[in-house]
Structure 1
Amino acid sequence: MNDKITRGRRSKIDLLPEEIRRELDAKLRDGRLTQQEVLDYINDLIEQSQLPPDEKEQLKISRSGLNRYSTQMETIGKDLRELREVSNALVAQLGDKPTGDVSRMILEIGRTQLFKAMMSQSSSEEMDIGMIKDAMLAAQRLEAAAMHSHKREKEIRQLFAAEAAEAAEKVASQQGLTAEGVAALKREILGIA
């Protein structure tokens, strides 16, 4: 993504009506059309829209503007694809018994992506209130997920310790350890959890 600081002026693409911008994003994602074909298609949509004639002329996008936007979208798409691949690989490692390290790593990836989004938004002079609200909600959900993950990890450790204590109790009893010794061993194992 372009890290160059600008004066915060919104691009023509940012100013497009929502339905035209959605169409632009869909055409770029589709990838079957060349950029020139996408440019002609979008500028035709602008021309056919119900916008005032002077606004239509102002909104028509240039080849370089489309190229910058396309490059930015591809960079974001690439980051999302890489994030999805990493997340899928990490989740595959979880199996049926999630481990705290992998859960923490996934949460950290989410926090990193949220931070990147907030930083890219803050480089613009105009702050999008919706973006701030969504970011705060995402942060709240990430923290709730972290708390749930921590609680689940603790429960797993306690269950494992209880199973280990029961197994140790059986073995210790079979080996002739006194009742006090068995109780001390069990307390020690349960205290670890």
Structure 2
Amino acid sequence: MSDKNTRGRASKVDLLPPDIKTRLAMMLRDKMFSQAEILEEINDLIRDCGLPDDMRLSKTGLNRYANRMEKMGARIRQSREIAEVWTKQFGEMPQSDIGKTLMELVKQIAFDTSMYLGDQQNGVSAKDLSLLSAAVQRLEQAESLSFKREQAIRQETIKRAAEAVEQAGKQANLSINDVSEMIKAVYGLNS
């Protein structure tokens, strides 16, 4: 089955009221219901809500939606598996390392998306380009903020270590020169 371009028309499922759409998603995830049972229940809910008969789902429409949801679910499961592999490979990474890894993954997705949009027959729409640009800009801002936060944490850690060294030196009755040298070592100022 090929992915065909459509006019962007919303499917019947997309037009369902949120409570019916939520029930549909729950039933599809449950796996204990057959598609025939789901179709019957959802169409009963549509009828009970007073929606017109043309809003009722067909077997084909339900199957298309179920396949689309399964593909999305598979992608989410795959992303989780990749994250699990990365975590196992690198061990328990500090939060900043996980953030950096995620930012790299999002950058890759943005790149792949831009390549896909560029390959489309009609080119890239202004809206798609704008959304992608905004996403990249937010990603860069988040990366910059993360870097600044990491630098501030490092500086605070060094400051606390220097204070601890100074306190320990005083308690050990070390000379002021010895304590000063240890503090310089903590700050990386030894020559």
Instruction: Give your verdict on TM over 0.5.
Output: yes
- Which of 148, 152, 168 is equivalent to 1:151? 148
The equivalent of 1:19 in structure 2 is: 19
How large is the Cα RMSD of the aligned pairs?
4.5
1:57 correspondence with 2:35: no
Q: Size of the alignment, in residue pairs?
A: 159
Contact map agreement 1:39 1:66 (CA 8 A) in 2? yes
Contact map agreement 2:24 2:42 (CA 8 A) in 1? yes
Aligned equivalents of 1:78, 1:34: Cα separation in 2: 19
Q: Given the superposition, is the C-alpha separation of residues 112 and 96 from structure 1 closer, same or farther in structure 2, using an over 3 Å criterion?
A: closer
- Which of 48, 72, 76 is equivalent to 2:72? 76
Q: Given the superposition, is the C-alpha separation of residues 76 and 96 from structure 1 closer, same or farther in structure 2, using an over 3 Å criterion?
A: closer
1:106 correspondence with 2:102: yes
Of structures 1 and 2, the one scoring higher in RCO (CA 8 A, sep 6+) is 1
TM-score, length basis structure 1: 0.58
Shift in Å at residue 65 of structure 1?
0.7
Q: Given the superposition, is the C-alpha separation of residues 90 and 145 from structure 1 closer, same or farther in structure 2, using an over 3 Å criterion?
A: farther
Amino acid at match of 2:147: H
Q: Which segment is superposed worse, 87-96 or 23-32?
A: 87-96
The equivalent of 1:7 in structure 2 is: 7
TM-score, length basis structure 2: 0.59
Contact map agreement 1:20 1:46 (CA 8 A) in 2? yes
Contact map agreement 1:90 1:106 (CA 8 A) in 2? no
Aligned equivalents of 1:73, 1:97: Cα separation in 2: 33
Structure 2 stretches lacking a partner, 5+ long = 121-129, 162-180
Amino acid at match of 2:146: S
What is the identity percentage for the equivalent residue pairs of Structure 1 and Structure 2? 34
Amino acid at match of 2:105: I
The equivalent of 1:176 in structure 2 is: none
Structure 1 stretches lacking a partner, 5+ long = 124-131, 164-181
